[in-house]
Amino acid sequence: MRRKVTLKQIAKELDVSISTVSKSLRNSLEISEDTRQKVQAFAKLYNYKPNNIALSLKNRRSKTICIIIPEIIHHFFATVISGVEKIANEKGYNVLVCLSDESFDKEVINIEMLANGTIDGFIMSLSKETQQKRDFHHISEVISQGMPVVMFDRVTNDILCDKVIIDDALAAFNATQFLINKGFSKIGLLSTVDYVSVGKLRTEGYINALKTNDIVVNENLILKIEDTDNFESQIVSLLENNKLDAIFAVNEIFAVTAIKVASKLGIKVPEDLSIIGFTDGIISKYSSPSITTVSQNGIKMGEKAAKMLIEKLEIEEEEYDEQYKTEVIETELVERESTL
């Protein structure tokens, strides 16, 4: 077991100073061609690689960014990670992925643990619990210390920072309108509880679409699902008690579960019931029937978020003007088999 070689060791072996070694390796013109060659050859032989921790300390930046997501089960978040990774790696940054598991405490711990030099900035989507508590002190704390933060998807107006979102209300409006255009009027909604920002916005879009088309909003057709574990029975009642034409679901888990429930009740999708989901994930793609859905383009969101963050990181201190932008990424409706 051979330990990693350091500048010091090379200097000793070659009987020159550490400075000379360092400069040689960085191709400084100060150093004679001769020594430079000698040092570089030796370094190569011993496979020298600078210690990144030492560089981080010296430069006061680690070239690592962290993305915090609520859970990995939603494929959308996985695609955002891919987008972030892509841009970050292109620009020479590492990406640390952290999971908050929808927990406020885990979010706080992650941030506090990493904000002390380990990483240069955060990209994050709020956990459910954080959105419910509306406690964002851990985030404002970090921002006030000069660490850039970019929020995506589940964001809050209470924090000033760069954001990458989609127009959730508009996308939901369009999806609902799509169903209305097919001639449907008894349209059910499977949404989350209201404190989840995107759930709330998507619900608004749905309601707006109905109102715009003079369809009476029937609260009985709206399910706000709190617990992800046992909502199948709620959907069963919804379908049994109402003769629905269509369903709009705010994520793909809800959409695919609606399909399962329908098939058990002998309701055919799409013949008897059309279903639109949200997020173009693997479930929507591989489900039978495959699911018509609002594509969020997580890759693009991730790329954009990473770009914004790195831009902030590489800006000169003096020109840092605390201007925050909110980028809205386009969505599109991907038509598949679950709608007529």
Min separation Cβ 193 and DNA, Å:
41
Residue ranges in the chain assigned as alpha helix (H): 7-14, 18-25, 33-45, 52-59, 75-90, 104-114, 128-133, 137-144, 168-181, 197-212, 232-241, 252-264, 282-286, 298-314
User: Which member of 1, 2, 27, 34 binds DNA (CB under 7 A)?
Assistant: 34
Min separation Cβ 319 and its own copies, Å:
14
Under the binding rule (CB under 8 A), the answer on residue 265 touching its own copies is no
Burial bucket for residue 252 (CB in 10 Å: 0-12, 13-18, 19+): buried
Under the binding rule (CB under 8 A), the answer on residue 118 touching its own copies is yes
Stretch that binds its own copies, among 11-19, 122-130, 177-185, 250-258 (CB under 8 A): 250-258
Q: What are phi and psi of 65, to 5 degrees?
A: -120, 160
Under the binding rule (CB under 8 A), the answer on residue 137 touching its own copies is no
Cβ distance to DNA smaller for residue 15 or 321: 15
Q: Which two tokens stand for residue 207?
A: 């309601």
- Residue 83 CB partners (closer than 8 Å, separation 6+): 298, 299, 300, 301, 302, 303, 304, 305, 306
Min separation Cβ 329 and its own copies, Å:
20
| Contact indicator for 189, 247 with CB cutoff of 8 Å | yes
Under the binding rule (CB under 8 A), the answer on residue 45 touching its own copies is no
Max distance between CA atoms of the chain, in angstroms, equals: 87
216 binds, among DNA, its own copies, none (CB under 5 to 8 A by kind): none
Under the binding rule (CB under 8 A), the answer on residue 160 touching its own copies is no
Q: Which two tokens stand for residue 109?
A: 């711990």
Residue 275 vs residues 16, 289, 310, 330: alpha-carbon distances, Å: 73, 10, 39, 21
Min separation Cβ 12 and DNA, Å:
11
Min separation Cβ 219 and its own copies, Å:
27
Residue with tokens 């000033």: 160
Q: Which residues bind DNA (CB under 7 A)?
A: 6-8, 16-20, 22-23, 25-26, 29-35, 50-51, 54-55, 57-58, 60
Q: Which residues bind its own copies (CB under 8 A)?
A: 1-4, 47, 49-54, 56-57, 62, 64, 72-73, 75, 78, 81-82, 85, 89, 94-99, 106, 109, 112-118, 141, 144-146, 253, 256-257, 259-260, 263, 282-283, 286-288, 290
